[in-house]
Structures are given as C-alpha cells and as structure tokens.
Amino acid sequence: MPPRGVQLTIQDRHVMMDNGILQVTLSNPEGIVTSIRYNGIDNLLEVLNDESNRGYWDLVWSTPGTTGTTGIFDVIKGTSFEVIVESEEQVELSFTRSWDPSQEGKLVPLKIDKRFVMLRGCSGFYSYAIYEHLQEWPGFNLGETRIAFKLRKDKFHYMAVADNRQRYMPLPDDRLSPRGLALAYPEAVLLVNPVEPEFKGEVDDKYQYSSENKDNRVHGWICMDPSVGFWKITPSNEFRTGGPLKQNLTSHVGPTTLAVFLSAHYSGEDLVPKFEAGEAWKKVFGPVFMYFNSAMVGDEPLSLWEDAKKQMEIEVQSWPYSFPASEDYQKSDQRGNVSGRLLVKDRFVSDDYISANGAYVGLAPPGDVGSWQRECKDYQFWSKADENGYFSINEIRTGNYNLYAWVPGFIGDYRYDVVITITSGCDIDTGDLVFDPPRDGPTLWEIGIPDRSAAEFYIPDPNPLYINKLYVNHPDRFRQYGLWEKYAELYPNGDLVYTVGASDYTKDWFFAQVTRKKDDNTYQRTTWQIKFKLDSVDQNGIYKLRVALASASVSELQVRVNDPKANLVFSSGLIGKDNSIARHGIHGLYWLYNIDVGGARLVQGDNTLFLTQPRSTSPFQGIMYDYIRFEGPSASSI
C-alpha cells in the first residue's frame, strides 16, 4: 500500500502538514513550529515553553558601524503566509517578513522568506529560507542566523553528535542555581546537585559539543520510551560560512538542537558579514532536514543513531534536492562541476612533484589567497583530494569563483589565479595545478604538524573537579573545561623551555601559550623559549622562521633571538578574537607568519628563540601554535 498523500489543514492561527507519518503544526502567519506529532507522542517539542519558543529561525543583527559579534536577537516571525505547493506528493509553505523604512533601526533590513516542505512517505520535513537585502535599503551586520528546536526535557535525555561523542545529558534544571554553579563564563556550569546524581561533579558546556562544518552533518537526541530519534541533517555545507574547518554549535542541554548557518564562534568579528547601503544581496540557507525515526519494542534505542547516519548519507546523495519550489534554489541541471589534480612542489622534500594527498580544495568567491576562511556572505563548495591529488567539486551554483586549497603536511594556502566561471551544465577540468608552499631553505628544525590544529601538542588531564566524563580517555581531550589553568600548575616558577633534539612536542609543548594566573588573580605575560644548536652560521645569510598559528585570542606574538631584552625581530600586533581557548576548540582561524632572521643574530653553537605573548588581562588570551619551522639560507648546505 503506497504511503498516504500529504494533507494540509489551514486554521485561523495555525497550519498543519500531515503525511500519515508525522504532523507538523506552525503558527500562522509567523511560521514558528509549535508542534511535531510522531509515533504516538503528541508533541516532541517542549510543551512547557511558549509556542514561540519551540522551533524557530532566528538571527542576531546590528546597525552599521557596530563592532563585535553581539547585537539584537530576533526570532524571525513572518507577517504573511502563502501556500506555494499543495499536492499529495508535496506541501511547501512560505512565511515571509519584509522591511520598510519605518522600521529602520528596529528591524533588520532584510526580506526573509522561510519555507517548510513535507513530502509523501518521508519521515521528516525540510526547511530553508531566502534572505534578501535590496540595494536601496540601509546597511547592517549579521552576527548569526540558525534554526533552533527545543525538545521535551521529559522525553529526550540521550544526545549524539558523532560516533564517539554521545551520552546521557543532564537536565536544563541542573544548570540553574542552586543545582548548578556558573564557572568562568555562563555557558560553563558545574553540576553540584543535579536531579540525576550520576551527573554530580561534572561540567556542562554547550561548546564542548561544537563540530567542524565538514563533520557537522547529523546530530540530535534519542527518547528511550518510546524509542524515538529527533535528528537535524545538513546535506550540504554550501550555505555555511567560513569553509570546512569552521566550528559551530550542534546540540546541547535543553534539550536543544541547532542548524547554524552563520556564526562568529571560533572566529570572532572576522566572520560577521557587514552589508552596506547600496549593496544588494540574496542567499538561500538550506534546506536542512528534520528527521524522525523510531525503534520497535525490544530493539536497541541507540540503533536510531546508526539509522540517522544512513539517512544523512541518503540526503547527501540527493543534493541538490529537486523539490524546493523557490527559483532562487538552483537544481542540479542549473549547476556545474570542476575537477582537476593538485600537486605540491617543495624541492627540499622531493625533487619530484608531490601528490596533494587529502588536500582540501574548494571554490569560494574571488579574493586574496586564503580569504575563504573569512568569507561570510556567499556560497562555498569544498571537496577532499584523493591520495594522488585528484579532486572533483560537483553541483556548484552558477557564478564567479576562485579555486582555493590547503594541504595537510604543508604550510600556507593555494589559490588558482584564474577566476572560474560556473555556468549551468559546465564540466571544467583545470588539469594539473601546482602549489608552491612557502619555502626558502632547508629545514633546520621543526615543531608540530602543519594541519591547522594544535591537537598534536601536550593536552593536560583536566582538574578532577571539572570533568566531562565523555572526554576522559577520548581523542578530543582538549574539550575538557579549564585546561588553560593547568599551564601555571605545570610551570609554576618559569615558562616553557623546548630543546630541539631533546624535547618531544607531544609531551613538552603545551597546547596553548596562555597567560599565567598570579596569586592576586591578575595575569601576566608568558615567554616560551626554543633552544637549538647550529653547527655553523652564515653571518650574511637570511634564515627564515615560519610560524603557523592555529588560533589567536586578543593576543600578540613577539619574537626575539638570543636575548630576551633585545629589539624585536617580529611582532604580529594585536591579533585574533576566536576565543578558542575558552570554548574548547583546538583551533580557530589560521595565521601564517614568515619571519626573516639575519644570520648576524645567530651564533655557532647554542641559540635561543624567545616567543612572547604580552597581552595579559584575561585567562583566555593566548595563542595556539599549529607548526613552527626554522629554515637555513636558501643557498646554504648547513
């Protein structure tokens, strides 16, 4: 028997889509999801919340000239409702909100068209939105936009973000005083008297469950009785900002699940798009899929996670979808493809070209080398090269792009200097592209792995008073709370000293150069030393220090050679606002500094590099290093 057709019921203040598997009710004309009925549960969303605080699109905006990442929080409520498609196969609804000059300063100057789609036989529903800024409208900044669902706290207690990141979660009540004690910032709470005693003494913090865009495809919650899963599936990253490594929130205590399209988390203001008066802009966010599954009595409820992953793969294979009715969403036949091969040329590693194994290769709007990681207005399309460097980027929206890449194991960024124009149905073969990573001379020594992360360095055990049990003996040790405080415990009397040839960066290089907390609760600068020997020195040569940073938070890198009081060889100036130390990220934005060191500053025998981070008013100021390399002069055979 074929699945029942989709039915639409329109009432004065609500509309309901029903395909026999689930019923979704939205407020009319606001377009807030007020109820999801599935598998005998009358509403999966939190019935204790006001109807406007259950399932919604929201944004954060600010007026032109505003700095920072905060602004006015706005739950997007439509003022006009329209049925776009109504058939047994599909219902698509539109809830729109426009703008006029009388709302200047009160409402973000955007036309927003929120769409909700239900298909026949489909155990879920889709949502996408078209945001449009007309040329004649005033400017604004857009700090964040996302979809949020608040689930029933009496039903959903088990959360899954990845195969090795899932657990039973505390209740939202546990985070409130006196059950919870806020720590160094309000998102981090110590559970002192939780409803369920098993959580006592743990830290809960939503940032411990962040994920990189490339891994953030499916996450959600499981109800054990009855066995029901609520999953948010994102089949494409094309509408997310900041590229594949950009980190965003996923699911967290609430129970809450998010689809984050644009945010400044782990990046700071660099990823807040600023639109000017006179700048026309339009973008489609989504569709994303809200998927629901259930297990039979006696089946393992955690099998719902495995099923959700399979459904995610189905959605990814189905992208771009054929069903969205908006002409602004390009279908497959309107898109194009690019393929080619990326090779690396580094004569100090190999005389031959090196295959760019595992390279991230993407199309993003035209810009400077590496600009993709700060690009936050338009679309990006990324893929990974195979072991021979071959890549294929498919289903690209029409438009003009640069091709960008970076290669794990090599510093720097690649950009193909020819603008690539994607037209409908095109198949562009770039042929062999060659990346010349930054390199002047032979490697004299190196610390770390050039992979845009500090994960290979020493990550301490957390304070036993502030543990998340999920991350004990876990690859993501860095997600524990309070690790920044361990530096002063490990180095109580002096800062880190690393000796090339004797030290081991996995044990002797702390993952972040943070400030040192003093007894009077103030903070002081830190200076790390790298000691190394040179058998001979070319006094007239130029040596090169390559410093790749994985993160910078209101910090500065100063470099001196062989005298901690000598004039600076280099200063980065004040850099970074990614806040990755506080938010348990092992990286934020990538920075690369190529620093000339004159041979006259060096001596035969023992040398010392001094790396100072002088900005010191907070525990969260600091630098995470990705990789450091010291090169000899180009003509030298030292």
State the CATH number of the domain containing residue 263.
Answer: 2.70.98.10
pLDDT at 185 (0 to 100)? 95
CA-CA distance, 189 to 179, in Å (whole number)?
10
E strand or H helix that includes residue 303: helix 303-317
Residue 182 lies in a domain: no
Closest Cα to residue 501, out of 341, 340, 630?
630
Name the DSSP class of 587: -
Residue 183 lies in a domain: no
Residue 192 lies in a domain: no
- Asked if 293 and 342 sit in the same domain, the reply is no
80: how many CB neighbours lie within 10 A of its CB?
12
CA-CA distance, 207 to 165, in Å (whole number)?
13
- Asked if 307 and 163 sit in the same domain, the reply is yes
pLDDT tens digits, 3-15:
899 999 999 999 9
pLDDT at 475 (0 to 100)? 96
Residue where one domain finishes, among candidates 401, 435, 469? 435
Residue 327 lies in a domain: no
Q: How far is CA 224 from CA 44, 170, 230, 303, 304, in A?
A: 13, 15, 12, 11, 10
CA-CA distance, 605 to 29, in Å (whole number)?
76
CA-CA distance, 529 to 496, in Å (whole number)?
6
Residue 408 maps to which CATH number? Answer: 2.60.40.1120
CA-CA distance, 128 to 326, in Å (whole number)?
10
Cis peptide before 235, with omega less than 30 degrees from 0?
Answer: no
CA-CA distance, 53 to 45, in Å (whole number)?
9
- Asked if 529 and 415 sit in the same domain, the reply is no
- Asked if 400 and 454 sit in the same domain, the reply is no
Closest Cα to residue 79, out of 29, 119, 5, 45?
29
Query: Is 217 in contact with 244 (CB distance < 8 Å)?
Result: no
Cα-to-chain-centroid distance, residue 73: 20
Residue 416 lies in a domain: yes
Query: Is 251 in contact with 161 (CB distance < 8 Å)?
Result: yes
CA-CA distance, 10 to 104, in Å (whole number)?
33
E strand or H helix that includes residue 583: none
pLDDT at 637 (0 to 100)? 42
- Dihedral of CA atoms 297, 301, 303, 304 in degrees, nearest 10, equals 100
Cα-to-chain-centroid distance, residue 400: 25
* One-letter identity of residue 46: E
Residue where one domain finishes, among candidates 380, 409, 435? 435
Q: What would the two tokens of residue 293 be?
A: 């599954």
Closest Cα to residue 46, out of 154, 151, 159?
151
- Asked if 503 and 538 sit in the same domain, the reply is yes
- Asked if 479 and 425 sit in the same domain, the reply is no
220: how many CB neighbours lie within 10 A of its CB?
27
- Asked if 309 and 355 sit in the same domain, the reply is no
- Asked if 229 and 274 sit in the same domain, the reply is yes
DSSP string of 364-393, one letter each residue: ESS-STTGGGG--SS--EEEE--TTSEEEE
- Dihedral of CA atoms 330, 334, 340, 345 in degrees, nearest 10, equals -40
pLDDT tens digits, 207-235:
999 999 999 999 999 999 999 999 999 99
Residue 469 lies in a domain: yes
Encode 391-408: b = buried (16+ Cβ within 10 Å), e = exposed.
bebebbbebebbbbbbbe
Stretches in the chain below the pLDDT threshold 50: 636-638
Residue where one domain finishes, among candidates 410, 435, 460? 435
- Asked if 263 and 155 sit in the same domain, the reply is yes
Instruction: State the residue range of the domain holding 549.
Output: 443-631
CA-CA distance, 531 to 554, in Å (whole number)?
27
Rg of the chain over Cα atoms, rounded to whole angstroms, equals 26
Q: What would the two tokens of residue 8 be?
A: 């639409």
Please provide residue 99's backbone torsions phi and psi, each rounded to the nearest 5 degrees: -145, 145
- Asked if 625 and 599 sit in the same domain, the reply is yes
Residue 536 maps to which CATH number? Answer: 2.60.120.260
Residue 526 lies in a domain: yes
- Asked if 312 and 340 sit in the same domain, the reply is no
SS3 for 215-283 is: HCCEEEEEEECCEEEEEEECCCCCCCCCCCCCEECCEECCCEEEEEEECCCCCHHHHCCEECCCCCEEE
- Asked if 164 and 248 sit in the same domain, the reply is yes
Q: What is the Cβ-side half-sphere exposure of residue 452, based on CA atoms within 13 angstroms?
A: 20
CA-CA distance, 161 to 445, in Å (whole number)?
39
Query: Is 583 in contact with 207 (CB distance < 8 Å)?
Result: yes
540: how many CB neighbours lie within 10 A of its CB?
9
In total, how many domains does the chain have? 3
pLDDT at 543 (0 to 100)? 98
Ranges of beta strands (E only) in 22-139 are 22-27, 33-38, 55-62, 72-75, 80-86, 90-97, 111-119, 124-133
Residue 193 lies in a domain: no
pLDDT tens digits, 432-442:
999 999 999 99
